[in-house]
Amino acid sequence: MVFYKPSKEDLLSPRGRGERFTEVVEKFYPSEDSDKSFAEGEFANLLYQSARNPLAHSLGLDSTSSKGKIVVLKKWPLSTAELLELEDSVARPAWAHPSITKRDLSDGSTELVISIPTLYWGLHRMLHALFSTEHVIKAEALAREYRSIWNRYVIDHGIT
């Protein structure tokens, strides 16, 4: 999250990215959306461990660390009206499922169902909340500091 607690150190180092990800979710993701069965901080960790990391690092392929956990991405076609409601609604639309639901299965494994439309709504709300804070001012200052380096990179690599 470049916009959350932006600093040169965090921009240049991968250390602490997971912690910053879970912090920004805990602070800015609409908390009234999460399943009430989650312990404090569990929602953000589940999102990080079950969705963000596997999709970003192994393209969704299971690893030995995912043993005993089934992750289901729940999605369906949305109408234009539903999409607009996801983008405009401050509260989760009544037709949308919670972002993540967790269920213990009889074989001892855990099933996590991630609702993609609701995740879209929640991330949209999270960005609105994050961008209305002092973090944006700090991110803009950091971007200004690196503008000349970026401009040089663009010219050197012929990026338009």
Mean pLDDT by 10 residues, the chain (160 residues): 73 77 88 67 83 60 63 92 95 93 89 91 91 82 80 78
**pLDDT for residue 58:** 53
Query: What are the φ/ψ torsions at residue 142 (nearest 5 degrees)?
Result: -65, -40
- Sheet (strand 100-104) strand order: 69-74, 110-115, 100-104
Residue 40 within any structural domain of the chain: yes
Residue 103 within any structural domain of the chain: yes
Residue 3 within any structural domain of the chain: no
**pLDDT for residue 86:** 96
**pLDDT for residue 154:** 77
Cβ atoms of residues 54 and 73 within 8 Å: no
Residue 104 within any structural domain of the chain: yes
Residue 99 within any structural domain of the chain: yes
38: DSSP letter: S
**pLDDT for residue 76:** 94
Residue 1 within any structural domain of the chain: no
Task: Please give the residue range of the domain that contains residue 101.
Answer: 8-156
Amino acid at 21: F
Structural domains of the chain, count: 1
